[in-house]
Amino acid sequence: MAHDLILTGGRVIDPSQALDAVTEVGFALGKVTGIGPGLKRDTQTKIKDVSGFIVTPGLIDLHTHVYWGGTSLGVDPDLYALKSGVTTSVDTGSAGPGNFAGFAKHVIAPARSRIYAYLHVSHAGIYGFSTLVHVGESEDMRLMDPRGAVEVAAKYRQEIIGIKVRVGRHASGDQGVAPLDVALDAANESGLPLMAHIDEPPPTYEDVLARLRPGDVLTHAFRPFPNAPVTAQGTIKPAVLAARKRGVLFDIGHGMGSFAFKTARAMLANGFLPDTISSDVHALCIDGPAHDLVTTMSKFLCLGMGLNDIIRSATETPARAIKRLDLGTLKPGALGDASLIRIDDGQFDYVDVTGEHLAGTKRISAHGVVMRGEWWA
């Protein structure tokens, strides 16, 4: 068959197919329809020469806050998608059972980019974070709404891919693991995976990991001390290794306070790569230190993580985490999403959440996306 759109001349990196080669990718009717040299054209086929760029499956940012206008943390999903080359943003708990309908109708439905969500077990989601107000929604157990979460998750099964909870001193005060246990009840009842945020203790890193199930996601996994995944001697905590062995996924979730170069160096030195690289982009960190997904990916490139592993952590693995296997790949028949990136050489200053600077010589930059089979730049 002829294709509606062909990207030609680019280096195609698709870890889901162990593919890294200069070749062509074709799209039609909203899906990937071919990959390989010399794809069939006709007079209606649009040809996009992407020589000098890298074509990847559509980038998936597993941790974002895109309930724009509905929460103080929200950023515009489509502006963000174009800035970072992201075709799928996964919102992680901006909305809860009490306000998810507004998120679905006013943001998810009209967005050109693709949005999925982890539903917060807190009734109103993350409602109290701005430059002036910081209220941990999990600190008040009266806001925990597992029954509502189960009902809303069932109603919005196409949009909701999991349950979210935030625990730690900033998010849940002195409640310890109690909000996590409530969220796990809701996730078990819904048959959905859980994403758990962790910040400073209580609870401890080990207490949170002990409760997570195969397929659940621990976000902010490479956070700084206290509640880092490594010891002061630079070894990985046994609970971390045990959790990975049983299938818990470790997500970066950079954000405003949750990623440290020191921790990342120790984890990588021990051969422990993140399962997923995500930005935790929101209104308080989009201008730094996180900025966006490609900036977070760039930090790992400068720390020595391989490019193909980095791309896998933003395509194939997050697609598996949200159980959308028609995303994160360029296999024919997959949804027609692709991202166009480039590796720039130069001098680039990166900063983590502790204020440490890293002088890098590489940067991953975004230059457009294919969304549902159509070029969007």
Average predicted confidence (pLDDT) for the chain: 97
Q: What is the per-residue pLDDT across 128-185, written as a single tens digit (0 to 9) for each?
A: 989 899 999 999 999 999 999 999 999 999 999 999 999 999 999 999 999 999 999 9
Is omega for the bond preceding 15 within 30 degrees of 0, making it cis? Answer: no
Distance in angstroms (rounded) separating the CA atoms of residues 28 and 141: 49
Query: Max CA-CA distance within the chain?
Result: 66
Distance in angstroms (rounded) separating the CA atoms of residues 19 and 23: 10
Contacts of 369 (CB under 8 A, 6+ apart): 58, 59, 81, 82, 85, 86, 87, 337, 338, 339, 340, 376, 377
Model pLDDT, residue 360: 98
Distance in angstroms (rounded) separating the CA atoms of residues 213 and 351: 33
- How many Cβ atoms sit within 10 Å of the Cβ of residue 85? 26
Q: Which domains does the chain have, with CATH numbers?
A: 5-56+333-352+363-376 (2.30.40.10), 58-321 (3.20.20.140)
- Is the separation of the CB atoms in 115 and 106 below 8 Å? no
3-state secondary structure of 225: coil
- Is the separation of the CB atoms in 171 and 143 below 8 Å? no
Q: How sure is the predictor about 323, in pLDDT bands with cuts at 50, 70 and 90?
A: very high
Q: How sure is the predictor about 2, in pLDDT bands with cuts at 50, 70 and 90?
A: confident
Model pLDDT, residue 377: 80
Q: What is the per-residue pLDDT across 224-252, written as a single tens digit (0 to 9) for each?
A: 999 999 999 999 999 999 999 999 999 99
> What is the value of pTM for the model shown?
0.98
